[in-house]
Amino acid sequence: MEQSDGTIEAAETGQAISSIQEDALAMKLVGAMLAAKIADIKPQYDFTTELGFIYPVVEQTIQVKGKEVISILESLGDKGLLKRSFFDKLLRCPRCQSINLRPSIRCPKCASRNIVRGRVLEHLACKYVGVEDEFRAGGRYICPRCKMELRTMGADYQSRGVLRKCRDCGEVFNVPLTNWVCLKCSSVSDDDKVDEVSIYSYSLDETKRNWLEFELQPKARFFEFLRQHGYKVTENARVKGRSGAEHCIDMVATRDDGLVSHSIAIGIEIAREKVELDRVLDFDVKAYDGGFHNKVLIVIPELGEEARKFAQLQRIEILEPKELGKVLALGVPRAAGKSEKEPFEFKSKSQLVQYLERQGYKVKKNAKVEGRSGAEHNIDILATRDEGIITHRIAIDVEVGKRPVGLDRVFKFDDKAYDAGILDKVVIGVPGLTREARQFARHQGTKVFETGQLESSEQKSSES
Ligand SMILES: [Zn+2]
Ligand SMILES: [Zn+2]
Ligand SMILES: [Zn+2]
């Protein structure tokens, strides 16, 4: 399983996640909503403010005001984390943005504001049309044009209903022309020129609750956990698989401890209820093609039964919230953090052991390991490091002879390690390896160190 096939680079597509984390205020707001301290964010009218409305809850929770509140809410809305619901529409002066507008209605024919509203009557004899008030004269109706009395509705006059009439040009109409006078800058705008602003109330998208809860809390801690273990973590890593396909893996953690380079493929699967087999299968295929043998899948809230069986079979380490919490509470052994700085070098076997111990490994010389076949194997040096999520086991074979180490020795070691289920393999060859042995080792993902001489007291003869 050659790891070096996988090339990893950071995804350029900025995910919602990272930008939320950058925006500490938005994060704080969502955090407060999640903690159910805020169920809904509703606007309140406040015509003393520039916008004309405020979101008191947001102002109190994250101490921001005005447009900044809107931009935080909108960005959360755009990312689909908050659901917008229409609340109201406000009109604004297109010139100065003030919301203090007064409607002004006018005659659609001459634009005069001198218009009246009332029941409109028509005198059938002279065709005069006017509002009721114009006809009224001491308890009777007199036509203002021909001065005849109107007596019977339907016979000598009729009602056209409640309408408007322009006192300047006499036009009778139903719908007046409306425009808006700004009380701040006094400009007059036509109805269709005035700015309309919709205001919304916001609520948490419940389908994203599990995802958000993970994003805002454990994810950052998990990141830190890996970093403290000396890993470099790439989020949304693009990995070129052996098949040629490119995969995106949620997190790839890599650490080179000098002896062996460790890579962990970490998947994050979040469902509303259970994460099912198809998701685990998908992750496993990607991790396999990407050449990872360390696989960790964070599952929220839990794994389905079938999926669990499959994960076990494929040696995928599953972290459900409970285990994740335990891992995060573990902390980090002192030795692990500083591991990256020390250059890897050794002059003797005991120096190598000391080096590994400083890296946080438990080291066993001449370790007896039982293989899957039932056979017992002897491993020169077995280094184990338990990191909470993954236990790294490195089998180290030290071959010392007069001539370069041959293919048969490396083959035998590889076979042992395979049977013992140890995937990190190192061969130290003194004075070196033959070309075939080196090629075979590389192909099997075994790291090779060739050195001229180990300190003589440490030597062990592999030649009979
Ligand atoms: Zn008349
Ligand atoms: Zn008019
Ligand atoms: Zn204005």
Cα(150)–Cα(195) distance, integer angstroms = 48
Per the rule left: phi > 0, alpha: psi between -120 and 50, beta: everything else, 408 is alpha
Compute φ and ψ for 145, nearest 5 degrees. -90, -55
Centre of ligand 3 from the C-alpha of residue 93, in Å: 5
Centre of ligand 3 from the C-alpha of residue 167, in Å: 29
CB 168 within 8 A of CB 112: yes
List per-residue pLDDT tens for the chain, 464 residues long.
333 333 344 333 334 444 554 477 887 888 888 886 777 899 999 988 888 899 999 998 888 888 889 999 998 888 888 999 999 999 999 999 898 999 999 999 999 999 999 999 999 999 999 999 999 998 899 999 999 999 999 999 999 999 999 999 999 999 999 999 999 999 999 888 999 999 999 998 888 888 888 877 788 888 888 888 889 999 889 999 989 999 999 999 998 887 888 899 999 998 878 999 999 999 999 999 998 989 999 998 899 999 999 999 998 999 998 888 888 887 665 544 444 456 667 777 888 888 888 888 999 999 999 998 999 999 999 999 888 788 889 999 998 888 888 999 999 999 999 999 898 999 998 888 999 999 999 888 898 888 766 654 444 444 43
Cα(283)–Cα(336) distance, integer angstroms = 28
pTM exceeds 0.75 for this model: no
Write out pLDDT tens, residues 199-258. Answer: 999 998 888 888 888 877 788 888 888 888 889 999 889 999 989 999 999 999 998 887
For residue 86, with 0-12 CB atoms within 10 Å meaning exposed, 13-18 middle and 19 or more buried, which class applies?
exposed
Centre of ligand 1 from the C-alpha of residue 121, in Å: 11
Count the Cβ atoms, other than its own, within 10 Å of residue 205.
16
Tokens 């004075």 — which residue? 431
Would you state the structure tokens that stand for residue 194, as one six-digit string? 């005035």
Centre of ligand 2 from the C-alpha of residue 131, in Å: 14
Q: Where are the beta strands (DSSP E) in 64-194?
A: 82-92, 101-106, 115-123, 129-131, 136-137, 140-142, 149-150, 157-166, 172-173, 177-182, 188-190
* pLDDT at 342 (0 to 100): 62
Ligand 1 ion: residues within 5 Å (CB): 123, 126, 128, 143, 145-146
Cα(173)–Cα(182) distance, integer angstroms = 26
Centre of ligand 1 from the C-alpha of residue 139, in Å: 17
Write out pLDDT tens, residues 305-364. Answer: 999 999 999 989 999 988 888 888 876 655 444 444 566 677 778 888 888 888 889 999
Q: What is the number of the ligand closest to the CA of 125?
A: 1
- What is the pLDDT of the chain when averaged over all its residues? 85
Q: Sheet with 115-123: list strands edge to edge.
A: 129-131, 115-123, 157-166, 172-173
DSSP 215-249: HHTHHHHHHHHHHHTT-EEEEEEEEE-TTS-EEEE
